[in-house]
Chains A and B, each alone.
Chain A
Amino acid sequence: MAASSSPYVTLISNDGFEFIIRREAACVAGTIKKMLDPQSACALPFDVHAHAVIYTMRVTILTSQNNHSGVVLEKVCEYLYYNLKHKDEKDVPDMEIPPELCLELLMAADYLHV
């Protein structure tokens, strides 16, 4: 259970990019939260590593080109921090999303439930 107390989570995209983000940011995404919750049915089998490593394979499968999954995951991580930052604000500015990424992000958001 040492891994669950780690304050950071590593997200790895299919094309090999690793994103190390804070656990509370990662828990904004419903799917990741379930994975990290040891009580949950779909919890990840934690190993002895310090970081919980989540392979976002499903995301990359759904995107049309696997080469770009790192770009998509980067945007997802940006959103997770954006959500954390503006949690209690009333006037939230929209996050910029480039139009070429909108479909990929749509599928990633649906999978990650965020």
Chain B
Amino acid sequence: MASSTTQGSDLWSNNMSSTTSDTLESIISATTLDLFTEFQEPTESSGDPTVPQLPSLVASTVNRKRDRDEYLASSSDTPLFSSDDLPASSAENYYGPRVKRQHRRPWYETEESWKTVPVPPSAKKPRMRGPFKRAHDSGVWLGSDESTENEEVDRQDAVRRALRVMESGASIDDDDDEDEELWHEDERELDLGNKVHASNQTLEEKLQQALVNKALQITEDPGGFEGPVFPYWQKQPGHLMGFHLVQEQAQKKVALCVEQGEEVIDLSTRYMQQIRTPTLRPLRYHTKIVPKQGKGNRYQSLTPALRLYLSNNLLEEVPGEVFHLKNLEVLSLRSNNLTEILPSVGELNSLKELNLGSNQLNWLPWELLGLLHANLKKCMIYPNPLIRPVPSTWNPAPSRKFESGEPCQVASTRIAFLDITGASFRHWPPAPSSLPEHWPEPQADDEFLGPPPEERTKTPSLLELALRACKRSPQLSQLPFLIPENCPEHLTKLVQKTWILKEAGGKSCSVCGNEYIIPRTEWIEWWYCIPEQGLRGQLDNLLAMHGMPVPLLRRGCSWACWQENASPLIRGWSSATLPGGLKEERAFPRKVQTSPTRRTIPPSGRMRQ
């Protein structure tokens, strides 16, 4: 026992931090701490082998007071966890927010391991053999004694070459591409499921297995298309491919763009007649990828500036999902078969470029004005069969406002009042959307046949209310199939239209702003709103100066929703409530201004012949 105490005193003198039970006893006897004796009771029976040793408490009890220097050095407590001990965690060493490292691959391919794998072909370094990889097999490796590592790698290369021949059909004589392709082939190997590295199969067996896997992948393609079956890796023009195949390719493309943070989504020239909602849905969650390291760009917006190209397809309507992409800056719908742009396009407030050329558009939505006021800088609308205003409705004196960039209205059609199903009445002006080509030229003595004033109420019809209830229903897509067969056909169409509207985000009345489904009033206004565009007018000099005015279709949600100041007869001017917070002003002064440039304008009488 005496020797043990001397050992304890040696320990005490040598390192104070590591203590034994003996030293603790000596400390207790020296410093009679009442608190500590409670904890010390088990150590008195230290002969009991089952009791573990207490952790070291000596350092904290003996040196209870900190040194002054230590106290000044750091105001924080001694680290409790190992992660607290980092120099960056104290306030004195704070140098700024740390850039979080981002890895887009599993841990076993991070940093050192993946950097070595794809050697640039120009470098021509000796290939790094055997980079660290995760083995995807069972973990059992039964190599024969003769097989060395080099032989194994050579066998891998042979299989890779064979696979490459099988997939691309190209010759593999050029060694430059090898290193590049190595990187992709690693992924392919993972897809194939059986790792070459770990199997002892012969080359033929591997090839056969790979072929079977390919065949399985082909047969797993969703069916439903007829015609020749193309291997999925061969590029075929879209019109020769099935609907599902085109959609699948588009979906893959979108998924790739979202995954890589690519802001340009090019789905052009794919001969798509429609784009399904799930294809474009991932774009809603598109976020920008911040560069890994960089000075000065620690705070970066993750909002992407999306550029969506849907040109050169066979689209007959704009996919509704497009209108939900608030970050869309460029949208190209050129060379499609579009006949109408839904008013929901007004939701795309960050749109800077819009291309609608080479379609079948007779008019554009009135909400385009709001876009032009917001951010839209470039809008291409030609060529399109846009309706032209009848010369007699033409206002002879366009204001100078347009020259300063503000849009102004030059003409409008009569207001068509529609019944509860959205069809026009017999003796009332037809809906502009129903008869775009044979636009009747109105007479000055035309009697206005609007609804009687007592029927101009803002109360929605029961049909409208029922459709709104349908729109709220989560089973809207199945509702058209639930309508009985003996029901009028237009009801089914109305429900289908409601479905399309819901996908596009709904539309709001251009007069009162309420959400609606069936338009009750409808008219077209011609506006100078897109400067310096396309065709020079052929009507007269006035048009030649300003280009063509753009027909914009306005719709109201009730018979009370039409421009109150507009007279029943067509007038070229009226005070329009502009969307997007534009000022409510008369777009046209009545007097022709006598500026030198105006003298070239023909007098109004000549135009109104």
Contact = CB atoms under 8 A, between A and B. Distances in A.
11 contacts: A79-B462, A79-B465, A99-B470, A99-B473, A102-B470, A103-B470, A105-B462, A106-B463, A106-B494, A109-B466, A114-B420
A88 B459 CA distance: 8
Interface of A: 61-62, 64, 76, 79, 82-83, 86-92, 94-95, 97-99, 101-103, 105-110, 112-114
Given A97-B468, A98-B469, A99-B469, 9 more contacts: A62-B484, A79-B462, A79-B465, A102-B467, A105-B465, A106-B467, A106-B495, A113-B420, A114-B462
A97 B469 contact: yes
B457 A109 contact: no
A76 B484 contact: no
Contact of A76 (B462, B470, B473, B560): B462
A35 B179 CA distance: 85
Contact of A109 (B462, B473, B495, B560): B462
Contact of A107 (B421, B454, B491): B491
Interface of B: 419-421, 454, 457-463, 465-470, 472-473, 479, 482-484, 486-488, 490-491, 494-495, 560
B577 to A, nearest CB: 15
**8 closest residue pairs by CB, A with B:** A102-B469, A109-B462, A97-B469, A109-B463, A106-B466, A105-B466, A99-B473, A102-B470
Contacts of A98: 469
A105 B469 contact: yes
Given A99-B473, A102-B473, A109-B420, A92 B460 contact: yes
B459 A103 contact: no
Contact of B458 (A79, A90, A102): A90
A92 B459 contact: yes
A102 B462 CA distance: 10
Nearest to B482: A103
Main secondary structure of the interface of A (DSSP, over half): helix
B463 A110 contact: yes
A114 B487 contact: no
Contacts of A105: 462, 465-466, 469
Contacts of A95: 465
Among A108, A110, A112, chain B packs the most CB atoms within 10 A around the CB of A110
Given A79-B465, A99-B469, A102-B469, A110 B491 contact: yes
A26 B477 CA distance: 33
Contact of A106 (B419, B459, B470, B560): B470
Contacts of B491: 106-107, 110
B487 A92 contact: no
A109 B459 contact: no
Most buried by B among A98, A103, A113: A103
Nearest to B463: A109
B470 A87 contact: no
A94 B488 contact: no
Contacts of A79: 462, 465
Contacts of A61: 486
A87 B482 CA distance: 33
Contacts of A108: 462
A88 B488 CA distance: 32
A103 B462 contact: no
Contacts of A110: 421, 463, 488, 490-491
A83 B558 CA distance: 13
Contacts of A82: 459
A29 to B, nearest CB: 8
Contacts of B420: 109, 113-114
A44 B105 CA distance: 78
A103 B463 CA distance: 10
Contacts of A62: 484, 486-487
B279 to A, nearest CB: 29
Contacts of A83: 457, 459, 462
A106 B466 CA distance: 5
Contacts of B469: 97-99, 101-102, 105
Contacts of A90: 458, 560
Query: Interface centre among B463, B468, B472, B486, by most A CB within 10 Å?
Result: B463
Contacts of B454: 87
A114 B472 contact: no
B451 to A, nearest CB: 12
B461 A103 contact: no
Nearest to A95: B465
Nearest to A91: B458
A108 B487 CA distance: 10
Contacts of A102: 466-467, 469-470, 473, 479
B367 to A, nearest CB: 22
A103 B479 contact: yes
A71 to B, nearest CB: 14
Contacts of B462: 76, 79, 83, 105, 108-109, 112, 114
Contact of A87 (B457, B466, B487, B490): B457
Nearest to B470: A102
A91 B473 CA distance: 24
Contact of B461 (A88, A107, A114): A114
